[in-house]
Chain A
Amino acid sequence: MDELLELLENNARISLEDLAKVTGRSQKEVASRIKKYEKKGIILKYKTLINKNKLREEKDKVLALIEVKITPQKDLGFDYIAERIYKFEEVKTCYLVSGTFDLLLVVEGKDIQTVANFVAEKLAPLNSVRGTTTHFLLKKYKEDGVIFEKTKGKRRLSIAY
């Protein structure tokens, strides 16, 4: 992967100036590369990872991982039914996986009841859906390579030969 993308993936707010300095390119070149990636849909969006555990207003929101078993359709496979499902705005993430079920969803709702209703009223009734298993998320330890609990303290001496 282009180093530019790696740097941006790790810090979407890194400035053009810094990107240029650390990759040894000109700012102009960096800017035009980024444009190109955006155009090609390689860069989809710039995201901020927020620790919602620390936000009072977000604290009560619930996340559920939902396993969905589906029947693939002739000529369309899983894609058609997956689209039916991922278009719901409650569905934050949707993966097709191998194993004992087919789709793995991450669904967000303002409370348990909302998620339960979504499953009961929107998801489970779909013709191709053969069954669902809902796991409510209890605690996030690590996401996108970032550990939520910050280890504290700097341990190095601040000066040494």
Chain B
Amino acid sequence: MLYSRREILLVLAAAGVCRAQELGGMASRGVKPQPRGKPSGLPFHARFTDIAARAGLRHPVIYGPPDRMDYILESMGCGVAFLDYDNDGWLDIFLLSGTRREGPVEGATNRLYKNNRDGTFTDVTQAAGLLRQGWACGVTVADYNNDGFEDLFITAWPQNILYRNNGDGTFTDVTQAAGLLHLGNRWGTGCTWVDYDRDGRLDLFVSNYLVFDFDKIPPTGKDPRCNFKGVPVNCGPRGLVPERPMLYHNNGDGTFTDVTERSGIGAVTPGFGLTAVAADLDSDGWQEIYVACDSTPSMLFHNRGDGTFAERGMQSGLAVNEDGNEQAGMGVAIGDFDTDGRLGVLKTHFCEDTVALYRNVGRLDFDDVTVRSGLGVETRYVSWGNGIVDLDNDGLPDLFWVTGSVFPEVEQKHPEFAHKTPRVLFRNLGGGRFEELLDAAGPAIAEPHTSRGVAFGDFDNDGDIDILIMNINEPPSLLRNDLVGGAHWLKVKLVGTRSNLSAVGAVVIAAYGGRRQAQAVLAASGYLSCGDKRLHFGLGEASTVDLEIAWPSGSREQLKGVRADQLVTVKEGAGIIRQERFGA
């Protein structure tokens, strides 16, 4: 229920300073959850089990002290990635890591795990040359130099890092050589590869959160204004200085040029930028860049097609919620949840607020359909990495996100604001409605953690989507999807020729069973994370599917009657070049 302005003023006046400080530095609206309707009673065929320990993912992801979050940097956590760094057709895992202010922590490093193709992974971090301790935040994965191997760009405080994949199982830090070292300290957060000028080379977009300095920001308890529900907590983001995002143009020779100003990206009012995602949201063949901003209006950079962008967040409806209130944007998922052939958006926020689900109505115009979709029932958790993914292969993309508090101190006084909280899964009922599944999708959904990044991908190549999750100061979770029911599916791997080799920015529309579902090849999504670039379509009962592919170069391709239950590799201009049946 929204208060009128007068009522808000009265509340403020009545409650005085206590009420005014109640929400700390985060945008939250005190939203009460909508009532839950009667359960649909429909079976959900996906069931998730956390097999991380069994799979060999046992190292905790260090991020700040084990029991406190004195600084906002310690509370924000980091992303994760599914990638295939050795091109063996099996998804490997890359986990970012933080550290502790007090000093280096043994074993706290970004980690690369190679997929052993038997449900387990081997830590190859050292051999790959990726050992590194620091405050890593986001990751974007793609082949920026078109040499056939996926590279890694990592945002971090105080300096970002570019790792080139050498193609022999090792990586080289080429940040300086690429011209990506920046002066001074900066807190890079969201990042995504994007071929914004369609020259076939992946450029790089980086969002920055805020100006951070351990010595200049008061820690928890040292500033009475930094307070949540009457409990002293870490300060920010409100009250701290927001930063602008940056855009780097790929020169094609291994170096990049800062085009932030020239492209118009630098003209934006600074905001507390977090996850950045690039996708062609208006279907004009040029990729937009959307940035979830924390407690400031989120930004949508409309690609004008001439090397410049115009910030159109407000005009598109993606900056704020339907009543014009800014929200604490954390994670962004892009997907076609209403199977109308257009890419919609799911953005996660703080507790006592809903997530935001935006329906794409065309011409870069989005409707906030959060409440009417049934998502208003869940407002309990601080929400982070997310996805619009068909978890049960019924042909209707579901919604998933992870949660976890940023204020561990609060739960002692207010147990309802727990530090560790469960995952959230809304199954798609069709007709624009969703239903939250509290315990119908396996024990791993209800398990409480303080989670941040999430990546989606089929790590065991069994035709369904599994989930990789970053948990602060715990080992990650790897949720294996044990799907039953026999619904059909199709995976599509794209290889660019005129386009960038990773085909980042391509959009595939799959037509099946009377539906048209769009998916984009993304180099980043969720919260500061990156998922499987093989597009996965659940098909329900449909056994064939027609595909329309819009390549980032501008070329288009159609494939009719593609059989279900396989991975097809499509090369730009050459059609299907490979078909694989998993397990065969």
Indicate, yes or no, whether A interacts with B: no
Question: A residues bordering B, Cβ < 8 Å?
Answer: none
